[in-house]
Structure 1
Amino acid sequence: MSIQQCLSTLILFVFSSTLWVISRVQEVFSFQTLKMLAQLVGASYDEGKQLTDELKIPPHVAVLLGEEQKEVDLQVLYDFIYYSSSHGMQRLSFYDSDGILKSMMSRIEDGWERYSKQRGFFKNVVFSKSQDGNSHPGRLTVHFWNKNDGRELMVDICKELIRSPLPITTERVSSKLASKGVHEVDFLLAVGGLDGFPAWALRVAEIQELAAWPERLNESSYRSLLRCFSSRDRRLGR
């Protein structure tokens, strides 16, 4: 065998050995990463693997608080905002029939500022004011709804559309509602009955009932909610 052939054989051996080592390192790293994730959330390895699975992210999540839910821990509300923003959602809406949360918006904004600083989270979150239907690309927009955003608002919008010479279409109704801050929901988390909730916003929504307002949310519990949405077979067009 010539020197040139020996060198070629050696180079081929080194190259193939390097590829093998790289593949083994990737396997070990992947295993260690999943194991570490599982330990962080107190889960098994298989559960840790699920944390890395691709999830469908609903653009708009709404949380409904029924009349039976007498008290709301604002820290959980901030958890919802934090994890929704972290996962790249566009909108997050909270509904309570009497509008208690909407009346507390200034207090909620101040509390969110303290919460986000404590977590070192500086991604911009927009708290939508009443009748504000603007979009804020790249940022989570938080809405607060009450019973006045349901049937009463729908009646007002229908009156506007009737006065217009243009035909009444699904798209026009949705557009008018969106201009008033009521956007169609992709995933609704319902703590209680749906009575009073803006019905049109549920036109294409997936609904997940919750037995009670959670005590606190973490990455694992939030992703469990997202998995409920991801498991649905959505074939509806807008």
Structure 2
Amino acid sequence: MACNFLGYSTLWAHREIKQRGERYDALRRIPAHVAIVNNDQALNKNSLMSLLEIALVENIRRLTIYDAANDYTDLACEVRMFCRSKHIKLVTGCANFSDDFSSYRLFVQLLSSNSGRSTLVETCRELSTSEDPITTNDITAHLASKFSLLEPELLIQVGAIPSLSGYPPWCLRVTEIVPVRSLPCNRFAFEECLEAFNKRDIRLGK
């Protein structure tokens, strides 16, 4: 009888753990758009593909990677076949991408230093030519339409230096920023960032 009780206790514990995990997954907020500011070692083919795989598993729709010290144009070419096989759209730099991305599982944008504050300066310069008052919505819409710069819900700031390194500041007005020491290239590390994001209060004001 004692053995049966222990057996049932073990089964109950496993069931309870599973149900708690399912309840957590149901309540967990998954950011549709995640940005990564890399102040650490440059990405390579393996680390980039790992990040893309994790983003797919976590059902993230848009991933922006900003690195002020490196240009990833060549790296984008290296992973082109991988992205095609996974239905990932990968672009470099800021431009007006008019294609329909609904057929892709993930949209990835690789940005460097020339995609930083200068885009905001150019936006303000162009909008200032109009006689109409400039609103926050005007700036946000211009950055999205001309430079394809959207506001991420979560930004993962990578490296020992707590700096955003010139990431377009306007796009971070309501973004939750989670600092980490190194790139979250495995699922456990990435899920820790998502867990930190879920513990933050949702900021609705802009």
Structure 1 stretch displaced more, 221-230 or 183-192: 221-230
Deviation at residue 198 of structure 1 after TM alignment: 1.1
Matched, 1:125 2:88: yes
Deviation at residue 165 of structure 1 after TM alignment: 3.0
**Contact 1:187–1:229 (Cα < 8 Å) also in 2:** yes
64 and 175 in structure 1: CA distance in 2 versus 1, 3 angstrom threshold: same
209 and 162 in structure 1: CA distance in 2 versus 1, 3 angstrom threshold: same
Aligned to 1:161: 127
Aligned to 1:222: 190
Match of 2:77 among 90, 103, 106: 106
**Contact 2:63–2:108 (Cα < 8 Å) also in 1:** yes
Q: How far apart are the structure 2 equivalents of 1:105 and 1:80?
A: 13
83 and 132 in structure 1: CA distance in 2 versus 1, 3 angstrom threshold: farther
Q: How far apart are the structure 1 equivalents of 2:23 and 2:186?
A: 18
Q: State the Cα deviation string for residues 181-206 of structure 1 (Å, max 9, x = none).
A: 21112111111321211111111111
List runs of 5+ in structure 1 lacking aligned partners. 1-23, 36-45, 117-121
Q: Which has the larger radius of gyration?
A: 1
List runs of 5+ in structure 2 lacking aligned partners. 1-7
| TM-score of the aligned structures, taking structure 2 as reference length | 0.77
Matched, 1:146 2:117: no
Q: State the Cα deviation string for residues 58-82 of structure 1 (Å, max 9, x = none).
A: 121011111xx23424322222212
Secondary structure of the structure 1 residue equivalent to 2:110? strand
Matched, 1:204 2:174: yes
**Contact 1:60–1:91 (Cα < 8 Å) also in 2:** yes
Deviation at residue 172 of structure 1 after TM alignment: 1.0
| TM-score of the aligned structures, taking structure 1 as reference length | 0.68
**Contact 1:147–1:198 (Cα < 8 Å) also in 2:** no
223 and 54 in structure 1: CA distance in 2 versus 1, 3 angstrom threshold: farther
Secondary structure of the structure 2 residue equivalent to 1:154? helix
Instruction: Name the Cα RMSD after superposition.
Output: 3.0
Figure out how many residues of one structure are paired with residues of the other and give that number: 190
Match runs of 1:23-38 below 5 Å: 31=15, 34=18
Aligned to 2:61: 90
Q: How far apart are the structure 2 equivalents of 1:223 and 1:50?
A: 16
Match runs of 1:10-49 below 5 Å: 31=15, 34=18
